[in-house]
Copies of this chain bind each other. A is one copy, B any other.
């Protein structure tokens, strides 16, 4: 007898992800899965785009972290609706965790959910959480070789944000090389150079996310 545990767990995850996707579609809610290394600037990006997104739409945030509720506290202090999920050591959110997070929100009263995944360029790549849009952040000080070294997460991205562009003058970061390698791996991804400090690119990125939202009839 051979038990393929990994396959069974994946199938269970994907079934829950399917239920999330169905619930989101029914309520016309766009959920953005935001992934990136620890310190790539996921929370800062969420803080950056929320004011623009909440101009016309109702938004909430699901914060995935190994430990602590620092990011949720940060967002609540700014007046945003945020739910904390601690993964208890797990290296990424899974569909079951997100299902619990969504159950704590009033889906019928929302248009957009920003889901901040655990800081990790590997594990979240292969775990469907039922999201509508997959957004990957890479940042200038991480260096220009990340897409080549962690291809899977870039392969599945709808949007790639190159964050911390304000630090570019102080590094040897080759923007052209990064754009070329992302495009090689995933020609259909939309790439946005952004700085949460100078606000460069925040407007363009927010508009693009808004353009992907299907308005309620």
Residues of A near any B CB (own CB < 8 A): 3, 5, 37-39, 65-68, 70, 89, 91, 118-123, 126, 139-143, 145-146, 148-152, 164, 166-167, 170-171
How many protomers of this protein does the assembly include?
2
Question: 3 closest A-B pairs (Cβ-Cβ)?
Answer: A39-B142, A141-B141, A91-B122
**A148 touches which one: B67, B123, B143 (CB < 8 A)?**
B67
Alpha-carbon distance between A143 and B5 when the two chains are bound, in angstroms: 37
Known: A141-B164, A149-B70. A119 touches B121 (CB 8 A): yes
A37 touches B119 (CB 8 A): yes
Alpha-carbon distance between A37 and B150 when the two chains are bound, in angstroms: 12
A123 touches B123 (CB 8 A): yes
Task: Give the distance to chain B from A117, nearest Cβ to Cβ, in Å.
Answer: 11
**A70 touches which one: B67, B145, B171 (CB < 8 A)?**
B145
B139 touches A66 (CB 8 A): no
Q: Which chain B positions have C-beta within 8 A of A126?
A: 89
B38 touches A146 (CB 8 A): yes
Known: A89-B126, A119-B150, A152-B89. A142 touches B68 (CB 8 A): no
B119 touches A67 (CB 8 A): no
* A-B contact list, 11 entries, CB within 8 Å: A38-B142, A38-B149, A39-B146, A66-B152, A67-B148, A67-B150, A68-B148, A91-B91, A91-B122, A91-B123, A167-B167
Q: Which chain B positions have C-beta within 8 A of A123?
A: 91, 120, 122-123
Task: Give the distance to chain B from A147, nearest Cβ to Cβ, in Å.
Answer: 10
Alpha-carbon distance between A60 and B211 when the two chains are bound, in angstroms: 51
Task: Give the distance to chain B from A6, nearest Cβ to Cβ, in Å.
Answer: 9
Q: Which chain B positions have C-beta within 8 A of A37?
A: 37-39, 119, 142
Task: Give the distance to chain B from A33, nearest Cβ to Cβ, in Å.
Answer: 17
